[in-house]
Amino acid sequence: MRNIVQVHQKPWGRELWYAIGPTYLGKIIVIEKGHRLSLQFHRVKHETIYAFQGSFLLQIGHKRRKMREGSVAVIPPGTVHRFEARYGRAVLLEVSTPQAGDVVRLEDDYGRRATERRKQPRSSRTAGKRLLIDGNRLLGRPAPRKQRRSRQRARSQLRR
């Protein structure tokens, strides 16, 4: 692992690459207010995003979610996604596989060339089921029966 922090300026903010290993890449992503990243997907790269500071809009396929501090999203390969700092400056922590150049750009606000799709990305329906929000709630799937019962008991005790 290299111990040098690399700063990559972007038209929407910057990335600080703080952990570069043979099987992983750790980044701090700063998105300035009013800016957004390309609508994109990755063929191989798998990423996990943690909302460290501020709130941002996460687009997965055609669905959009407001990510607040402490929220987590898992983005598997082939998932069409975009981050947007609509509510103010946002700081994200990203841990991913090391394929930093694996970006297939579908749309871009800054005139960077969109990359032609060679492989069909996952549908937004499949991607939405894999999006992890607030640490433990999987979108698109009901909570396991045991969790539902626990919640129901807790609610009924609160009503008493």
Give me the residue spans of the domains in the chain: 6-159
Q: For domain 6-159, give its CATH number from 3.10.250.10, 2.60.120.10, 3.40.640.10, 3.30.1490.100.
A: 2.60.120.10
pTM for the whole structure: 0.70
Reading phi first (left if > 0) and then psi (alpha if -120 to 50, else beta), residue 40 is in: beta
pLDDT score at 150 = 62
pLDDT score at 100 = 92
According to DSSP, the residues that pair with 71 across neighbouring strands are none
pLDDT score at 158 = 62
Low-confidence ranges of the chain (pLDDT < 50): 116-141
Q: What is the tens place of the pLDDT at every residue in 63-95?
A: 999 999 999 999 999 999 999 999 999 999 999
pLDDT score at 130 = 37
> What gap in Å lies between CA 2 and CA 29, rounded to an integer?
19
